[in-house]
Structure 1
Amino acid sequence: MAGLYLEEFEVGHVFRHTLRKTVTESDNMLFSVMTLNPQPLHIDFDFASKTEWGKPLVNSLFTLGLMIGIAVNDLTVGTTIGNLGMTDTVFPHPLFHGDTVRVETTVVSVRESKSKPDRGIVELEHRAYNQNDVLVAKCLRQAMMLKRPV
């Protein structure tokens, strides 16, 4: 598997993910419409032009999903049982169409499951930056991970 097993996570290790993505108008529009989010700040250029931003903001839930998605190939593909939660999620700066997102992840904690010997919980801090190295999103993610098969 490309993902890491529980034993391979080291507290304090920082992953600088090589996968990046430039966010398009289509990404934002499609995500907003698919999730039934009619917020004009995301989908109405005229409305958004009259806000302090002057243009549409990328839907923050798209930003969250993209940030975690970029990390999947390096960390959890095929070795995760599931996400347990995402906490302390913040969006300190807006993301706009045309911005390119890069992500870093720090391993915050690792522990074995108390009830199931084949797994454990890893807490990861994901951070997303735009092309100017401005932090656009951050969250703590708790993931249930498989231990290496015996």
Structure 2
Amino acid sequence: MSKTNAGNFFEDFQVGQVLRHATPRTVTSGDVALYTALYGSRFAVQSSDRFAHALGYPQAPVDDMLVFHIVFGKTVPDISLNAVANLGYAGGRFLSPVYPGETLSAVSEVIGLKANSNGKTGVVYVRSTGYRQDGTEVLDYVRWVMVRKRDPSSPAPEPVVPDLPEAIEPDGLGDACPFLDTSGWDEALAGTPWRFDDYKVGERIDHVDGMTVEEAEHQLATRLYQNTARVHFNQLSEGQGRFGRRLVYGGHVISLARALSFNGLGAAFHVAGINGGRHVAPLFAGDTVHAWSEILEAATISGREDVGALRVRTIATRDRPCTDFPGSDADGAYDPSVVLDFDYWVLVPR
């Protein structure tokens, strides 16, 4: 019997199956510094202990997307080692801030399966939950991924496609941060004068800046999350694949777009929920990422006078600035430059 892990193929999954993932990961200040080096994120709450403490945090929390990536990375060896592509996200909730020194682990449940008509692959739906060392949930989300079959002749399971919410209800978003003393919010240090009431539904923001992805950077980032998917690392195997080169991890694109969004959304200091997301097209080293955002909804949170929630749709593009807001047409066809369409909630001081 082999002692190595070849990963699960589509036939290995069953609806209701629970997967407890290796290995727990203690988040350190080194992880935070390296994350900043990779993306240049400038949100003040996550950048400064002093700024965060003035609002009521014990110290600066870890960037929400770093938490997401670490939890995601735990799931890869069991869920997507044999993936063709990660297809989308829904129903994500950030349930508690995470601080350096805390240890994260992850558990997933298979909630849906659907074989593809080509007989070679199928789509696996999982709900993954991240926990800190005391068992407190810090994050949960659904993702669906296209996974190769081990044997194309194996019978297809009865299809089960979960009913996923279009969006997280805003009243459930308050757990993403403690109650804040917003008198401690310093607009000059935050880098923006704009607060919750300054954003209007339908407003579009060109985040202006662009960031080119380097081969070493995207691989370093993916290793930081202990994401073992060979599609991001192994040029020998990927050189024989459909693209002939390694793909940039989709989460790397999300973090780039999030970091770029600071220019225009600098007060959107917490990602509180993920409503949906789609990796529209692959990204490769050498491509330059730009981003723009639209405010889809502005919501107050029951019992919270300190923060409000903005539902934001961020579009990331490849090798195209976003002055004219490239997106999709009336038929849903995306502009060829679009690589990411991400719908999420952020918290903004009132």
What is the TM-score normalised by the length of structure 1? 0.92
Q: Partners in 2 of 1:120 and 1:22 — Cα distance?
A: 33
Equivalent residue, structure 2, for 1:58: 62
What SS class does the counterpart of residue 84 from structure 1 fall into? strand
Question: For 2:35 and 2:24, how far apart are their aligned partners in 1?
Answer: 18
Deviations 1:27-64 (A, max 9, x none): 12321342221011111121112122221111111111
Contact 1:124 1:140 in 2 (8 A): yes
The residue type paired with residue 45 of structure 2 is L
Report the equivalent of 1:145. Answer: 147
Which stretches in structure 2 are left out of the alignment for 5+ residues?
153-350
Alpha-carbon distance in structure 2 between the residues aligned to 1:120 and 1:82: 11
Whether 1:27 aligns to 2:28 is no
Moved over 4 A (4+): none
Q: Which has the higher contact order (CA 8 A, sep 6+)?
A: 1
Task: Tell me which of 125, 128, 131 is aligned to 1:126.
Answer: 128
Structure number with larger C-alpha Rg: 2
Counterpart of 1:117 in structure 2 is: 119
Secondary structure of the 2:16 match is: coil
- 2:84 paired residue number: 81
Please list every run of 5 or more consecutive structure 1 residues that lacks an aligned counterpart in the other structure.
none
Which one of 6, 13, 17 corresponds to residue 9 of structure 1? 13
Query: 2:106 is matched by which residue type in structure 1?
Result: V
**Is the CA contact (8 Å cut-off) linking 1:29 and 1:43 kept in structure 2?**
no
- State the number of aligned residues: 148
RMSD value, Cα? 1.3
Give 2:329's aligned residue.
none
- Cα distance in 1, alignment partners of residues 57 and 19 from structure 2: 32
Q: Work out the percentage of aligned pairs sharing the same amino acid.
A: 25
Q: Deviations over 1:12-35 (max 9, x none)?
A: 011111311000011123213422
Q: What is the CA-CA distance between 1:74 and the residue it aligns to? A: 2.3
* In structure 2, distance between residues paired with 1:45 and 1:92: 21
